[in-house]
Amino acid sequence: MNCREFADFLMSYLDNELDAEACRVFESHLDGCRPCVGYMEDYKKTVELGRCVCKDGEGPVPEDAPRELVAAILEARKTLR
Amino acid sequence: MEPAGPLLSPERVRDAKLLERLRVGDDAAFRELVQTNTAPLLVLARRFLRNEDDARDAVQDAFFSAFRALDKFSGEALLSTWLHRITVNACLMKLRTRRRHPEESIDDLLPGFLEDGRHATPSKPWEGGAEALLESEENRQLVGAAIERLPEKYRTVLILRDIEDYDTEGTAQALGLSVPAVKTRLHRARQALKSLLDRHFTRGRG
């Protein structure tokens, strides 16, 4: 396995979708390749960062709801009655 | 002794009271619902749509759908969670129907390899773990901005899978894609996002 193949199969590896033999080949590449170890670590961090930033990272929403949008939504409700 | 009833959080109690008022058509309750939820839903819609007018339309559509479905809402989820889901659907609908932008390429953001399959330019490892990186507000904004820079079809899959916690099948169904196509797009989206973040987070940058 080379680094390109490693990168191709990385997600399947992390999702435990590789069979035992493919897993062994994957891990034996990982044992001898520092760039791929670094790539995998930062790939995992990327997933975590995306998840956390959008889940709770935006904290209190930094603005009030646009008044005209609130008004338009409430106005639209009247058409339902 | 009376068995203790299920303990409801103050948030749940408030929600149940608001729902009761909504169900009898209390105008003030509708105003409260819209005023409290519009801003966070707009943040969500902007992430999907990257266009202010479309994002506002999607939020408005979502509320409209919610108002119509209020009688069917079981109250099991919080109103905010329910509205969040409806807004995701409204965004997906908007993505499906709006005029397609020319396809943006993601190739420049994918890792490059030499002919023998080795990394062409191995990226330097990042400084610090995800938790440490997230402590800085600047970094959080960088990540948000990097997600926004992803081409639409990759961004949508990344948001659904990694942020909205849709599973692969659900994402495939929502986007009319095959399961393998979702997997490929998600992997590329993550790789591209990593590349965009590499330039900020690698050791010895600057």
Per-residue pLDDT tens over the stretch B63-116: 999 999 999 998 899 999 999 999 999 999 999 888 777 778 899 999 999 999
Q: SS3 for B114-139, per residue?
A: CCCCCECCCCCCECCCHHHHHCCHHH
Q: Which segments of chain B belong to CATH 1.10.10.10?
A: 107-201
Question: Is the CB of residue B21 less than 8 Å from the CB of residue B28?
Answer: yes
Cβ of B123 under 8 Å from any chain A Cβ?
Answer: yes
Q: Which among B35, B59, B134 is the nearest to A53, CB-wise?
A: B134
Per-residue pLDDT tens over the stretch B23-52: 999 999 999 999 999 999 999 999 999 999
- Comparing A32-36, A39-43, B19-23, B202-206, which segment has the lowest mean pLDDT? B202-206
Cβ of A56 under 8 Å from any chain B Cβ?
Answer: no
Helix-helix angle B179-201:B168-175, to 10 degrees: 100
Confidence bin at A62 (pLDDT 50/70/90): low
On the question of pLDDT at B136 being above 60, the answer is yes
Confidence bin at A61 (pLDDT 50/70/90): low
Q: For residue B205, what pLDDT is reported?
A: 52
Which CATH code is given to the segment(s) B107-201? 1.10.10.10
Q: Please state, as a whole number, how many other Cβ atoms lie within 10 Å of the Cβ of residue B156.
A: 23
User: With contacts defined as CB-CB under 8 Å, which chain B residues touch A63?
Assistant: 39
Q: Please state, as a whole number, how many other Cβ atoms lie within 10 Å of the Cβ of residue B153.
A: 19
Among B127, B190, B196, B202, the strongest candidate for a mutation testing the A interface, having the largest count of A CBs within 10 A, is: B190
Q: What are the two backbone dihedrals, phi and then psi, of residue B124, each rounded to the nearest 5 degrees?
A: -75, 145
Which CATH code is given to the segment(s) A3-78? 1.10.10
Alpha-helical runs (H) found in chain B: 10-23, 27-49, 52-69, 79-97, 130-134, 137-149, 152-158, 168-175, 179-201
CB contact under 8 Å between B63 and A76, yes or no, is yes
- Closest residue of B to A9, CA-based? B187
Q: For residue A80, what pLDDT is reported?
A: 82
Q: Which segments of chain B belong to CATH 1.10.1740.10?
A: 10-97
Q: B10-97 is classed in which CATH architecture?
A: Orthogonal Bundle (1.10)
Q: ipTM value, please give it.
A: 0.88
User: With contacts defined as CB-CB under 8 Å, which chain B residues touch A75?
Assistant: none
Cβ of A67 under 8 Å from any chain B Cβ?
Answer: no
Cβ of B109 under 8 Å from any chain A Cβ?
Answer: no
Cβ of A20 under 8 Å from any chain B Cβ?
Answer: no
Q: Where are chain A's structural domains? A: 3-78
When pLDDT is averaged across residues A31-41 and rounded to a whole number, the result is 95
Q: For residue A57, what pLDDT is reported?
A: 44
